Structure 1
Amino acid sequence: MCIKVKNRAKEAGLSFEEVYKIGKTVLVLPFLAALSLSACGASGRSGKQTAGLTPPSFPAQSAASATGGKDMAGGRKLAMAPDLVKTGDYNTISLKDMKLVDAVGIAIARHPDIGRATAVVMQSKAQIAVEKSVWYPTMTYGVDPGYSRYYGGKARNSSESSIRGTIGARQLLYDFGQSSSRIGVARATYERDRYQLENTVENVAYSMAAIFIELSAAQELVGAAQREYNTMRITRDKIAERVASGLSDAVDLNQADVSIRRAQSDMLSAQTRYDVAAGRFAEIIGVRPDQVASLEITASFIENLGERRNGVDSTPSVLAAEAEVRAAQKKVKLARSQFYPSVNLGVSQQKATGQRNATNDSSFVGVQLNGSFNTGFREKHMIEAARAELNAAQQSSENERLITRTALGSSETEAQGAMARMGNSSEMMSLSLSSRDLYWQQYTLNKRPLTDVVNAERDIFMAESDRITALADYLNARVRAYAAVGDLVERLRKR
């Protein structure tokens, strides 16, 4: 089975750069591409055609929407799975032996949290234009219908209906830093939202990678449990032959049956773990694959991602916190500027129906000085609030650095511990394999009980399970270290 991804942006005659560009930053817009579910008509090298897909129906195998695109936030490229969006109309992703990079790419393309963060970035970018518009002339107009004793042509003590209209224009000349501060706040907020978008993409990528590793590990555990069960079945058949020929006691056959039941329990436990991981996998990317890449292949892929390049200070969450500090600094400046008036150049013309006089027909051209002062010391309190917000933003920035350093350090420690466990499990597995055959030979000579043979087989499974779990923990730690410094998606994109 496979997934065909269709490029809707190309049909509209737009390049992805034109579609996704927001200022100098290209953002993930998952809703601009759509998944087309259809049969993968092309035949493979084996001559077999792939099957068509149906909408998701869990827990059966299914497929759902997947899109692709790329993102650049804060000068850092954010991408889906490489080649997920190509020049051609379709790109095919197989549901058999699905790779880590494909799973992460689809998850990024369709995750709603990324769509939300993208919309926030678009909103904050539009807010910059809103704040800049204050420096453009503002046209004003108004119409006031009503009654007045001064607008009619009759006696002054009479009233008649009239309509008064006003039109004018106003241009800001100077406002003592109010407008520039608002623009600065909007720009800093935009930068913060871009970095938060990048951080959201990293978090989604890490979550999907962790689920993929868990699914791959569960897949390996199912195979290990199946091998244990098959081996115990073979051992049980041998014992049954010995019991039939009178070489072994019937109790040994019962003990072999118990070991088979235990192997079945291991198999059911491994299958449950696989089903749970597969369910989480399908919930995020909308498709349950036939099979994912093996843990060894995934380990080789992650090892080839290379060493981390980014430091703590270039982590998206830290950069977002720093942008929040800059926004708070601008808010302090904005609060201080509230003490001062704004200087405008104004032009207006007023007219009313009725007889022309000084009250119903007037013009104005000149400089306007506008300001306000609150007797409750509002401006002073605004400054205090802005300073408190700045202090909170600075503390939040330090907290983000602390969180990043802690996550990075714990990931490195966990990776080292997992490596040690892998070595120990491999040695234990090797010893158990060599002991199993020896124990069987000694059992046939009545020098060892059947318990030693069964326990040796059990030890092999436990050692293999420990090795698989340790390898999965190691890969998780490596991926978490990349995500901690915001380097995971960039590394996957280059692969």
Structure 2
Amino acid sequence: MIRYNKFMLALAVSYFSTLSTKVSAETLNETLQMAVNRSPTIKYHSGKIASAESTIGEARSGWLPNVSVNAGNEVMRSNKQDSDGSNTYSVKVDQTLFDFGRVGDQVNYAEHNKSSEVYTAHDEAEVLSSKVSETYLNILKYEQLIDINKKNNIEHHNILSLAEARASGGVDSRGDVEQVEVRIKGLDAELSNYEAQLKAAQEDYFILVGKRPSGLSIPDVSALKAKLALKMKERISASPRVEAIRANKDAAASEYAYTSKSWLPALSVSVSQGKLSTTGANDTVVMLNVNSNIFDGGGAIYRSRGAAQRVESARWNIEKSIEDLSTKVSQMYQEALSQENQSNIYAQRILHSQEVKELYHEQYKVNRRSVLDLLNSEQELFQTMSNKVNADFNFRVLLIRVFSELGEINKAFNINVKFEEDDGGNLVSNLFGSNKQPQKTAESPITEEMLPEQSVIPSSQPMVSNKPETISSPTVQTEMTNKPETATAQNAQATTFTKSDIVPSQHAQIAVINRPETATLPNNQTTVVNKPENTTSQNIQTKAIGRSQTFTPALSSNNNSNDDYISKPYKYSESQPVQKTKENISKERVVNSNTHSLPKGIDDPLLLIGIRKK
């Protein structure tokens, strides 16, 4: 009866521990959301965006009247008249009537500056999500590598027992036993390294997420790969990093428009009411004022010239950023495809290595193979399984990095990143337009299906009769034009391939174990559960993620839906070759119903060389 009670207690504890593990399981989506909610990087950029929003309100105040109150007491001593004290007081209201659009230019500058801060914040959020995702996947990778190492260690101990028995019977020498022990020590050292790497990844997870990892599951990133098939060039141009630089260019253009009008007159009206002097009475004064900066030592000219150069510099910075980002994304994408192909090859090598291992075991028993051959076959199988795990996780990490560079990882995993609070507006926004910047429309998120990773654990005695077919790697055909401003892929073709799964024969006995639990099988013989056959995808059609663009120039008129990913960097040009100074700094109008159009004035070449119009 006591034994029965102990057994039931142990069963109950096991059940509740399993239940708690399932409840506390954390998907990659949940982990990313927790990291974003507590990240100091997000809070830092939220403060910068709020500061930029205040700058917009400060600029809009130039359209409103300025009210001032003046009061004082004056004591005067003179030869003609002495005054022991006279009070003066007045209320004055100033209102700008016309200033050639300088206030509007200041508002546009502040709004573009805020847009730059918003895009920069989203780019930093993408970097954060990529870092958290890599940490998440590294934990799972090292857990699998440790599990493979431990199973290989068990196999080596079985060989050690067999070698010791043969050595005691005089069949093998003591040197064979020593060889096995040396290999076991090497496995122990490698296991120690994996455990250290796992501990470091868990600590990084705790720092980024704020809690210890528990119940992590491997995400299915095949949907991410399918989204990369179309319109890569447009998505690179619309990435938050490029949009931030584009907003800086628009801000520089607004700054130039403001500084180029500094010498133009400003018309204003002022009304004063009160006792304006010690000898006067209570008066009302209405004045129409015209103010103009006739000469300031040339400061206005140099400010205008510097702003024009900042416009040109920002324009070329856009070109440089697109070129760098295109090269980086191209390299990572091709490397991801390479890792996927390597994973398929390693899956086939596992079957071959397993067959060789079993043959060597049988031949060793009849003295046709040495213990060194047996150890080498075990090492080959162990190394191939480890390489497959590394290739699988490297493929996932590289795809996540590509999406992070494109600024789409948070949308892909439906992560809510909020930098600014929505308000009901104020007097200035109600009078002169909404103070909210246009936001990009929400897109349907990529659904993430969490699947347990299947690790192949070979049995001790399989006979493999059928080998899986080799899937050839996809080829990408591209053409580069010789134009200096544009290089477009003409016939890019991309095919999405599913992972090659292992199809065992009727004699092969392998096991599929779902992470993170470890299955122990009697006599090292297990069966395959739910393994799909090898399939080759044929012309998978995908849709590109559409992103609404803010302050983005019109893209190329060639909207070919088959504009696939290109393997070589290209040059994306937003401006024609520079011929004259005034063409380089021509004012670009931004069509926006909520903001004021930039006034003309940037196309005056006389302002750039220091000559004012008479």
User: TM-score band (shorter)?
Assistant: 0.7 to 0.9
* 1:340 counterpart residue number: 264
Task: Give the secondary-structure state (helix, strand or coil) at the position aligned to 1:139.
Answer: strand
Match of 2:153 in 1: 229
* Match among 100, 103, 117 for residue 179 of structure 1: 103
Q: Is residue 303 of structure 1 aligned with residue 222 of structure 2?
A: yes
Q: Secondary structure at the match of 1:448?
A: coil
Q: Which residue of 2 aligns with 1:196?
A: 120
The amino acid that maps onto 1:307 is K
Tell me if 1:482 matches 2:403.
Answer: yes
Residues 1:445 and 2:366 aligned together: yes
Per-residue deviation at 1:49? 9.1
Task: Describe the superposition over 1:343-380 as per-residue Cα deviations: whole angstroms up to 9, x where unpaired.
Answer: 111001342696xx34x755311211223344411110
Per the TM alignment, residue 276 of structure 1 is displaced from its structure 2 partner at its CA by 1.6
Inter-CA distance 442–311: structure 2 relative to 1 (3 Å threshold) = same
Cα 1:159–1:46 change in 2 (3 A) is same
Contact 1:414 1:473 in 2 (8 A): no
The answer on whether the counterparts of 1:121 and 1:194 sit within 8 Å (CA) in structure 2 is yes
Is 1:158 the equivalent of 2:82? yes
Q: Determine helix, strand or coil for the equivalent of 2:92.
A: strand
Query: One-letter code of the match for 2:152?
Result: E
Q: Secondary structure at the match of 2:170?
A: coil
Question: What's the counterpart of residue 75 of structure 2?
Answer: 147
Aligned to 1:379: 300
- Indicate which of 241, 250, 259 corresponds to 1:326: 250
Q: Percent identity?
A: 17
2:321 equivalent to 1:397: no
SS in 2 for 1:235: helix
1:218-367 equivalence runs, <5 A = 218-293=142-217, 297-298=218-219, 301-305=220-224, 306-308=226-228, 311-351=235-275, 357-358=279-280, 362-367=283-288
386-395 or 162-171, larger mean C-alpha shift: 162-171
Contact 1:229 1:263 in 2 (8 A): yes
* 2:433 aligned residue: none
Q: 1:396 to 1:95 in 2, by over 3 A?
A: farther
Shift of 1:159: 4.6
Q: Which amino acid in the other structure matches residue 482 of structure 1?
A: F
Alignment of structure 1 residues 200-219 onto 2, 5 Å: 200-219=124-143
Say whether 1:418 aligns with 2:339: yes
Match of 1:17?
none
**Shift of residue 207 of structure 1?**
1.4
The residue identity in structure 1 corresponding to 2:29 is V
2:227 alignment partner, SS class: coil
> Post-superposition shift, 1:226?
1.2
CA distance change for structure 1 residues 361 and 225 in 2, over 3 Å: closer, same or farther?
same
Letter in 2 for 1:244: S
Aligned counterpart, 2:6: none
Verify the 8 A CA contact 2:276 2:283 in the aligned structure 1: no
Cα deviation, residue 194, structure 1: 1.8
Q: 1:182 to 1:45 in 2, by over 3 A?
A: farther
* Structure with greater proportional helix content: 1
- Change beyond 3 A, Cα 1:146–1:460: farther
1: CA distance, partners of 2:378 / 2:206: 34
Which residues of 2 match residues 428-439 of structure 1 at below 5 A? 428-439=349-360
User: What is the CA–CA distance in structure 1 between the aligned matches of 2:162 and 2:352, rounded to whole Å?
Assistant: 23
Deviations 1:271-296 (A, max 9, x none): 11111211212111111213422xxx
Asked whether the equivalents of residues 425 and 467 of structure 1 are also in contact (C-alpha less than 8 Å), the reply is yes
Quote the Cα distance in structure 2 between the aligned partners of 1:328 and 1:422.
49
| Equivalent position amino acid for 1:232 in 2 | H
After superposition, the CA RMSD in angstroms is 2.5
Counterpart CA distance in 2 for 1:236 and 1:47 is 39
Distance 1:353 1:393, change over 3 A: closer
**Number of the residue aligned with 1:466:** 387
* TM-score normalised to structure 1 length: 0.75
Deviation at 1:333, TM superposition (A): 0.3
Query: Counterpart of 2:69 in structure 1: which amino acid?
Result: Y
Contact 1:138 / 1:169 at 8 angstroms: preserved in 2? yes
Distance (whole Å) between structure 2 residues aligned to residue 241 and residue 132 of structure 1? 91
Does 1:409 pair with 2:330?
A: yes
**1:173, CA displacement in angstroms?**
0.6
Q: 1:454 aligns with which of 375, 379, 382?
A: 375
Which residue type is aligned with residue 119 of structure 1? G
Once the two structures are TM-superposed, the CA of residue 463 in structure 1 deviates from its matched residue by 1.1
What residue ranges of structure 2 are gaps of 5+ in the alignment? 1-11, 415-444, 448-614
Counterpart of 2:38, as a letter, is: R
* Equivalent pair of 1:347/1:365 in contact (CA under 8 Å): yes
Instruction: State the distance in 2 between where 1:196 and 1:202 align.
Output: 10
What secondary structure sits across from 1:167 in the alignment? strand
TM-score by length of 2: 0.61
Task: Report the AA paired with residue 468 of structure 1.
Answer: V
Cα displacement (A) at 1:165: 2.4
Find the aligned partners of 1:145 and 1:424 in 2 and give their Cα distance: 94
Q: Deviations over 1:98-125 (max 9, x none)?
A: 3221221111111111111122222222
Does the aligned pair in 2 maintain the 1:239–1:248 contact within 8 Å? yes
Q: Which amino acid letter does the alignment assign opposite residue 302 of structure 1?
A: V
Query: Displacement, 1:48?
Result: 5.2
Secondary structure of the residue aligned to 2:287 is strand
Q: Distance in 1 between matches of 2:13 and 2:46?
A: 38
Q: Is the 8 A contact 2:22 2:215 kept in 1?
A: no
Question: CA offsets per residue over residues 217-246 of structure 1, 9 Å max, x none?
Answer: 112111111111121122212222223333
Secondary structure of 2:100's partner? coil
Task: Kindly provide the CA deviation profile for residues 167-217 of structure 1, in whole angstroms up to 9, marking residues without a partner as x.
Answer: 211111111111010011111112222222221221111111122222221
Paired AA for residue 142 in structure 2: A
- List per-residue Cα deviations over 1:439-486 (Å, max 9, x = no partner): 122222222211111111111121112111111221112112212222
**Cα distance in 1 for residues equivalent to 2:17 and 2:174:** 51
Q: Provide closer, same or farther for how the CA distance between residues 239 and 189 of structure 1 changes in structure 2, counting only shifts above 3 A.
A: same
Distance 1:47 1:442, change over 3 A: closer
Q: CA offset at residue 337 of structure 1?
A: 1.4
More strand by share: 1
